[in-house]
Amino acid sequence: MSQDLWIALCVSLLGLITFLYRYSFVSSQGKKVAQRIPPSFLMLLGPATFTAIVINNLLASQKMTDFHLKGIVLCVSAFVAYFTKSIMATLAFGLIFLYYLQNTPF
């Protein structure tokens, strides 16, 4: 078996398990389990998930200078996000601000 075909098989396994994760609580059996989870707990999952993704991405910065600059940009962008609630505005502001900081000699 060629290496590419072996990788394709492994990828198919990854896809299958991912699908099962996604289907787990949607299935008839999973629904019964999901119904036992308090709705007020489920309400908190969204904000917790998005915060975890943001902070994890920041920590994944390869260089310390990147980490500091991205930290500053994220803090300032948080204000933009809070007041505008707009993905596009936050995205545009954050990317331009980071570009500016990286290309400005201090």
Partner 1 sequence: MNKQKFLTFLLGAQSTLPLIAGMLPFGMLYATLAGEAGFPPWLVIFTTIVVFGGSSQLVFIDLYQTLSSAFQAVLGANIVNARHLIYSAGVSSHFSSYPVKWRLILSYLLSDHLYSVSETHKKTIDSFSAELQPWFYFGSGVCTWVSWVLSAVVGVAFGQIIPKGWNLEFSIPLMFLPLIFMTAKNRYAYLTCLFAGALVVLFYKLPFGLGVLFSILLGSFLGFKVQKYGRQKK
Kindly state whether residue 72 participates in binding partner 1, applying the rule CB under 8 A. Answer: no
**Could you tell me which residues come within 8 angstroms of residue 31 by beta carbon, excluding any fewer than 6 positions away?**
25
104: left (phi over 0), alpha (psi -120 to 50) or beta: beta
- Cα torsion 36, 38, 43, 49 to 10°: value is -60
Among 1, 63, 64, 82, indicate the residue that binds partner 1 (CB under 8 A): 82
Q: How far is the CB of 60 from partner 1 (least distance, A)?
A: 9
Kindly state whether residue 53 participates in binding partner 1, applying the rule CB under 8 A. Answer: yes
Query: Alpha-carbon distance 23 to 39, whole Å?
Result: 19
Among 44, 65, 68, 72, indicate the residue that binds partner 1 (CB under 8 A): 44
20, 34, 39, 70, 78 from 54: Cα distances, Å: 26, 26, 24, 11, 11
Among 65, 68, 72, 95, indicate the residue that binds partner 1 (CB under 8 A): 95
Kindly state whether residue 4 participates in binding partner 1, applying the rule CB under 8 A. Answer: yes
State the residues that interact with partner 1 by CB under 8 A: 4, 6-8, 10-15, 17-19, 21-28, 30-31, 34-35, 37-59, 70, 73-74, 77-78, 81-82, 84-88, 90-91, 94-95, 98-99, 102-103
